[in-house]
Amino acid sequence: MRLLITGAWKHTTQQIEEIKDLGFDVYFMPDEKGDIPIRPDKVDGVICNGLFLHHSIEQFASLKFIQLTSAGYDRVPMNHVKAHGIKINNAKGVYSIPMAEYAVSGVLYLYKHLSSFVDNQKKHIWEKDRGLAELYAKNVCIIGAGNVGGECAKRFKAFGCNVVGVDLHEKEDELFGHIHSIEHIDKLLSCADIVVLTLPLTQQTKYLFDKERFSFMKKGAILVNISRGAIVDEKALEIALDTILGGAVLDVFEQEPLDESSKIWEKKNVIITPHNSFVGEENNERLFKVIFDFISRV
């Protein structure tokens, strides 16, 4: 079978050899916006991220499977995939660990006022801060109880936090203690000190956090978004940062990069990173295992 691999996966020579040993003819496409190095209708499978944002999936007439390098399915025309019986696999679990570590570190950065200590260090100022907060005993609400949410739950619980999950359906879970259905989100937000967004972007979750939803949040709460930017209405977020929230840790935005004119850049109680929370040195090995397990079965 003919396998097209895009630059979304930073593979090693050894990994490609192992894939070839499965019987694949491999073709490389460094840039997903660039030219396809093989006739699209001859491609049996692809390893990609945003390939179909730039090339119509209809021209891949023989496509049998898609392996994504991302966890989300929002960059793939899923209606076409389902209608044509194309097998698809995401990078489930690959980035969960670094993303969870990022979430905890971001909250700690705000709670421990590290930005002011860094500034004082640059100025050679020795000044104590008596207003630092603890993670211990804080109420953490994780919205999206998948792999990333589960890894977040493990780490916040290790700090002695009270952790609850929110997902489509209510259920018991050893990582969260209890996962509530999405219908109860507003009640849970009212007592949450920290809210972590790890849910996928769908038509139902777009702008889930709008002006009304922010109004249910506890005064001084911290919002962490490591899912998709469009989960949050950024105009409503700007207002909430001045009136309700104690701070925010934001790795994703609806439009990336975040516009230079956005007022969010200027907020002192915000950490902004360039969609970077997924990065970790073990990602490649985890991703290769996911890829190899999947394509060896197609």
Identify whether the C-beta of residue 132 lies closer than 8 Å to the C-beta of residue 83.
Answer: no
Q: What is the pLDDT of residues 83-122, one digit of tens each?
A: 999 999 999 999 999 999 999 999 999 999 999 999 999 9
> Are 18 and 85 in the same domain?
yes
- Residue 165 to residues 128, 236, 237: CA-CA distances in angstroms? 36, 23, 22
Question: Is it the case that residue 177 has pLDDT exceeding 90?
Answer: no
> Are 17 and 85 in the same domain?
yes
Question: What is the count of structural domains for the chain?
Answer: 2
> Are 42 and 108 in the same domain?
no
Domain that holds residue 257: 96-272
The reported pTM is: 0.93
> Are 88 and 113 in the same domain?
no
> Are 192 and 154 in the same domain?
yes
Rounded Cα–Cα distance for residues 197 and 165 (Å): 10
> Are 82 and 185 in the same domain?
no
Rounded Cα–Cα distance for residues 168 and 98 (Å): 24
> Are 288 and 248 in the same domain?
no
Retrieve residue 52's tokens.
């179909």
- The closest alpha carbon to 97, from 274, 282, 238, belongs to 282
- Residue 123's CATH number: 3.40.50.720
Q: What is the pLDDT of residues 41-84, one digit of tens each?
A: 999 999 999 999 999 999 999 999 999 999 989 999 999 999 99
Average pLDDT value for residue range 256-265: 97
